[in-house]
Amino acid sequence: AKVIIVGGVAGGATTAAQLRRIDPEIDITIYEKGRDISYGNCGLPYHIGGEVAERDQLVAATPESFAERDVTVEIFHEVTAVDPDNRTVQVKDIRNDRTFDAAYDYLILSPGGSPRLIPALLDVPQAFVLHSLEHLDEIKAHIEEKNITRAVVVGAGYIGLEMAENLVHRGIEVTLVHRDTEIYRPLESDMSDFFMEELKSRGVDVKLDTEIVEVSGDTATLSNGEKIEAPMIIAGIGITPRTDFLEGSGIILNDEGYICTDKHGCTNKEGVYAVGDAIETNYHHVDRPVHVALAWGAHRMAYVISNQISGDSSVCFEGLLGTNIIRFFDYDIATLGLTEPELADYPHFVVDHRQKNKAGYMSDSVPIHVRAYVGKDDGKILRAVVVGTEGVDKRIDILSAHIRLGGTAMDLANIEVAYSPPYSSPKSVLNMVGYKAI
Ligand code: FAD
């Protein structure tokens, strides 16, 4: 059988590797429109900050290393149309400016999303996004060539915040411009005061409730009339799914352009699968569609699809909780489950709990704040939030596993934790959320 994969980064390269591992014979070709494949986008900001010392540490595989495993990789090849009835794709070889058709038995779509850019930044030479290795190289070259000591970050979502942190680590002075009135929308506003304190203490100049409307030379004008120095601008304001090329293919997209998939990773067209940031799937814990542009789902779906294609249809995608975590200087912020606006559709009560992350008498114990939104009828944890400076990752992962295995908020009281004073308390922070929910 012949497999064509569209997109060669997280979802695409992982599916190719899984498929080759399961099936040594199957014919696999990856078409990637960009220059690079199989790199860790998640690590890009950390190379700018220096925590990832070598750029090449971010590269997991190359066309050459895939060739050794008999996987064909065509870079600078863009799939421009799909014909599921005839099982062909149209491919544009960008470097040679020619177009050809390629036939498949199975097609796997992993086109990801395009980073958004505000209109005022469209033709600005010092305005960048950070979504690929090519972008990383451009940003690094700009910093070095122009001796950048100051930068503007647009957007206070997770990529904007990671950029701000990493630029500060690099010794660059940062102005953070955010259209909203609050930093990091995914976190409840009454839990997020620390962001402003942390930003201030790191010397980041924060401009809220405004946006860049014009850039002239190295000066940006904000909608509130203020002018700021902007010799480098990096925008992190979200993505839109790169699914334009599917227009006319009959493959069903949702209203926002995400590819609808079932629990086998299959689209509505036989033999056409989709994975990664461009898909719509379902929540694990409630029956509601969701799209989550994070790496865990891409890796899991890659495994599911490669098993499906290799004949093991028992391996299914069980939906997502959207479990996520970010580090922001000293803080860790993690959430899972429904968004705050979505909670409005589910009758629930809130359990809010603060406790030290380890025995309170330990001199280095620090507070940890957990909030759970609990379904009124069934005790289901609909959404959970964990914030603190240590031990947040452990709590969110326990919550994720607990929900995955059908545990309720009340059941949290029964989780037997590994306790000794440097790690937890005999009644851990999550146990206490359980006791409070009863
Ligand atoms: P991508 O990795 O974006 O790959 C899609 C590829 O498809 C692109 O290379 C594109 O050029 C190619 N393509 C698109 N259309 C076509 C076409 N028509 N023909 C040929 N090729 C095409 N996730 C986390 O879980 N944790 C993190 O900490 C985290 N940090 C991140 C930090 C940054 C800066 C970024 C950018 C992302 C981060 N992510 C993180 C998200 C994570 O990287 C994505 O969820 C993951 O990369 C999605 O994989 P994908 O294959 O869907 O898309």
ipTM of the complex: 0.99
Question: Mutate which of 4, 9, 18 to test ligand 1's pocket (most atoms within 8 Å of Cβ)?
Answer: 9
- What pTM does this model have? 0.96
Which ligand 1 atom minimizes the distance to the CA of 132?
36
From atom 12 of ligand 1, which residue's Cα is the shortest distance away?
Answer: 7
Show Cβ contacts of residue 430 under 8 Å, excluding neighbours closer than 6 positions. Answer: 370, 395, 398, 399, 412, 415, 417
For 256, other C-beta atoms within 10 Å of its C-beta total 10
Show Cβ contacts of residue 418 under 8 Å, excluding neighbours closer than 6 positions. Answer: 424
Structure tokens at 144: 């070095």
Indicate whether residue 112 lines ligand 1 (CB < 6 A): yes
pLDDT score at 74: 98
CB 433 within 8 A of CB 370: yes
Q: What is the dihedral of CA 247, 250, 255, 256, to 10 degrees?
A: -50
Indicate whether residue 36 lines ligand 1 (CB < 6 A): no
Surface-to-core class of residue 393, CB atoms within 10 Å of its CB (0-12 exposed, 13-18 middle, 19+ buried): middle
- Residue 279 is classified by DSSP as E
pLDDT score at 331: 97
Tokens 């940890």 correspond to 368
Indicate whether residue 11 lines ligand 1 (CB < 6 A): yes
CB 188 within 8 A of CB 340: yes
For 425, other C-beta atoms within 10 Å of its C-beta total 19
pLDDT score at 115: 96
Q: With a cut of 70, which residues of the chain have pLDDT below it?
A: none
Q: Please give the Cα distance from 154 to 163 (Å, whole number).
A: 10
Question: Mutate which of 110, 154, 336 to test ligand 1's pocket (most atoms within 8 Å of Cβ)?
Answer: 110
Indicate whether residue 33 lines ligand 1 (CB < 6 A): yes
What DSSP string runs through 143-161?
HHHTT--EEEEE--SHHHH
pLDDT score at 423: 96
Helix (H) or strand (E) holding 437: helix 429-437
Distance 34 CA to ligand 1 centre (A): 12
